[in-house]
Amino acid sequence: MKYRHGFHAGNFADVHKHVTLLSLIAALQRKDKGFLYLETHAGRGLYDLDSADTHQGAESRLGIGVLRGTASASPQIAAYLAAIERLCPRADESLLYPGSPLLAAQALRGQDRGWCCEIQAAECRALERALQHYPRMRGACTDGYAGLAAHLPPPERRALLFIDPPYEEQDDDLVRAIAGIDDALQRLANAVIALWYPIKDQPELAPWLTRLAARLAVPALVAELWLHPRDARIGLNGSGLLILNPPYRLDAEMQQWLPELGDALGAARQGGTRVQWIAHEQH
């Protein structure tokens, strides 16, 4: 595998998925009872935007580079920016960007805990170093889908599963992700699950979502942000998140902050945003 999360660290898709991730954690923390955070494709946890691996942060300039240092009317975007500032203060670490494991680790309470899986050995060693100051979060050098069987169902009976595959082979990755989701829901029917997917080819994406919606037995919504026409042939046009068993009022909150985020990142020029239910609970 040649993919590294670091190639795209801090880009617009990272911003989209990380604001969403922190919003999901905050929503789950409205209840006192703890939960398990489980991530299947964690990466290294912390990225140097001045390195060759990130193309000297080229993609981040259109993502976190646009937002950093700005004020936001949205509490969700403001919370994300505050988390970035705590983990990577601009005064002395302006070229670092935290990945989802570090953002989640910082957000966990004493009653919460987490496991982040990463199959690539070098990335996993870096992940373990990044998490060494966060005892509530552990890194595991293993296939993330195998981690589902190891950790679900958790004693807490509550879980947030974050799936962010590399999509080197998009069809294969989608098949494995959906199989992983099926497995997770069989083990814990109320698990909150967020699957990130790229928006590259609208004629293929739309039927996939339609087929998926027809077989889902739990509530599900999609939250998408795209900067370029959805069928443009330029690479990554947009960022999508499929959220199963979303917490109460998450959709209403996203309908407020996602358009603001899209505007800040330049979606108004050729792109857009949407928050839409694709499946409701079946009775």
**Which domain CATH number covers 57?**
3.40.50.150
Q: Which residues contact 132 (CB under 8 A, 6 or more apart)?
A: none
For residue 244, what are the β-bridge partners? Answer: 193, 220
Encoded tokens for 118? 């990463």
**What pLDDT, on a 0 to 100 scale, did the predictor assign at position 50?**
85
Parallel, antiparallel, or unpaired: how do β-strands 238-244 and 220-226 relate? antiparallel
Which regions in the chain score pLDDT beneath 50? 1-3, 282-283
Backbone angles phi, psi at 225, to 5 degrees: -140, 125
Chain Cα centroid distance, residue 191: 15
What are 33-58's pLDDT values in tens digits?
999 999 999 999 999 988 867 665 68
Q: What is the pTM of this model?
A: 0.94
- Read out DSSP for 96-163? EEE-HHHHHHHH--TT-EEEEE--SHHHHHHHHHHTTT-TTEEEE-S-HHHHHHHH-S-TTS-EEEEE
Domain containing 156 equals: 5-279
**What pLDDT, on a 0 to 100 scale, did the predictor assign at position 230?**
92
The CA distance from 145 to 165, in Å, is 11
Q: For the chain, report the end-to-end CA distance as a whole number of angstroms.
A: 42
Cis check: omega of the bond before 75, within 30 degrees of 0: no
CA torsion angle 84 262 208 42 (round to 10): -10
SS3 172: helix
Number of domains in the chain: 1
- Read out DSSP for 145-159? HHHHHHH-S-TTS-E
Q: Which residues are catalytic, by number?
A: 164
Are 1 and 144 in contact by the 8 Å Cβ rule? The answer is no
**What pLDDT, on a 0 to 100 scale, did the predictor assign at position 2?**
42
The CA distance from 80 to 22, in Å, is 7
Query: Where is 211: in which H helix or E strand?
Result: helix 202-215
**What pLDDT, on a 0 to 100 scale, did the predictor assign at position 231?**
87
Handedness of CA 98, 103, 104, 110 (dihedral sign): positive
Q: What residue has token string 């979060």?
A: 137
**What pLDDT, on a 0 to 100 scale, did the predictor assign at position 94?**
58
